[in-house]
Amino acid sequence: MDAVFLVLILLLIASATGVAARFLPALPTPLVQIAFGVLLALPGIGLNVELEPELFLLVFIAPLLFADARRFPQREFMVLRGPILALALGLVLFTVLGVGAFIHWLFPALALPVCFALAAILSPTDAVAVSAISGRLPVPPRLMRILEGESLMNDASGLVAFKFAVAAALTGTFSVADATLGFFIISVGGLAVGAAVALVFNVIRTRLIERHLGEGSTIQILLLLLLLPFAAYLLAEHFGMSGILAAVAAGMVINRTDLKRESQVNMRMQTKSVWEMLEFTLNALVFLLLGFQLPDIVGGALDHSLHDVGDYEFLRLLGYVAVISIALLLSRFVWILSATWLQRRFSKERRAALSMRVMLAATLAGIRGTITLAAALSLPQLMNDGTPFPARELLIFLATGVIMFTLITGSIGLPLVLKNLDLPRDTHEFEEERRARIAAAEAAIRRIEDFHHQRAETFTREHHSEEFIIAFNDISSQLMTWYRQRLELGDTTVSTPRLEAIRSLERETRVEALRAERREYYRLRGKHHINDDVLRKLVREVDLAETALTGDTGHAHH
Flag whether 253 is in a domain.
yes
Q: How far is CA 458 from the centre of its chain?
A: 51
Q: Which amino acid is residue 547, in one-letter code?
A: T
| Strand, helix or coil for residue 388 | strand
Same domain, residue pair 434 and 390 = no
Same domain, residue pair 456 and 310 = no
Same domain, residue pair 168 and 131 = yes
| Strand, helix or coil for residue 172 | coil
pLDDT of residue 426: 57
**What DSSP designation does 311 have?**
G
| Helix segments in 365-465, DSSP class H | 370-377, 392-418, 427-461
Q: Which amino acid is residue 526, in one-letter code?
A: G
Q: Which CA distances in Å does 146 have to 86, 152, 268, 362? A: 10, 10, 26, 9
Residue closest to 487 by CA, chosen among 425, 544, 558, 435: 435
Kind and range of the H or E run holding 303: helix 265-303
Q: Are 64 and 279 in contact (CB under 8 A)?
A: yes
Residue 163's CB is within 10 A of a number of other CB atoms, namely 19
Flag whether 506 is in a domain.
no
Residues contacting residue 92 through CB under 8 Å, at least 6 positions apart: 120, 123, 124, 154, 157, 158, 161
Same domain, residue pair 416 and 434 = no
| Strand, helix or coil for residue 168 | helix
Residues of the chain with pLDDT below 70 are: 1, 46, 127, 134-136, 212-216, 260-265, 301-312, 347-353, 422-430, 463, 489-500, 551-558
Domain containing 472: what range?
430-494
Flag whether 74 is in a domain.
yes
| Strand, helix or coil for residue 382 | strand
Diameter over CA atoms, the chain: 99
Flag whether 134 is in a domain.
yes
pLDDT of residue 327: 96
Same domain, residue pair 409 and 531 = no
pLDDT of residue 555: 44
Same domain, residue pair 438 and 556 = no
Same domain, residue pair 415 and 434 = no
Where among 400, 420, 440 does a domain terminate? 420
Residue closest to 252 by CA, chosen among 196, 310, 210: 196
Q: How many domains does the chain have?
A: 3
Q: What is the model's pTM?
A: 0.81
Same domain, residue pair 309 and 343 = yes
CATH of residue 399: 1.20.1530.20
Flag whether 282 is in a domain.
yes
**What DSSP designation does 554 have?**
G
Same domain, residue pair 376 and 443 = no
Q: How many CA atoms lie within 13 A of 261 on its CB side?
A: 21
Residues contacting residue 504 through CB under 8 Å, at least 6 positions apart: none
**Rounded CA separation 257/8 (Å):** 36
| Strand, helix or coil for residue 549 | helix
Flag whether 425 is in a domain.
no
**Rounded CA separation 397/159 (Å):** 18
Flag whether 501 is in a domain.
no
Same domain, residue pair 359 and 446 = no
Same domain, residue pair 461 and 400 = no
Crossing angle for the helix pair 218-238 and 243-258, to the nearest 10 degrees: 150
Same domain, residue pair 26 and 137 = yes
Where among 370, 386, 420 does a domain terminate? 420
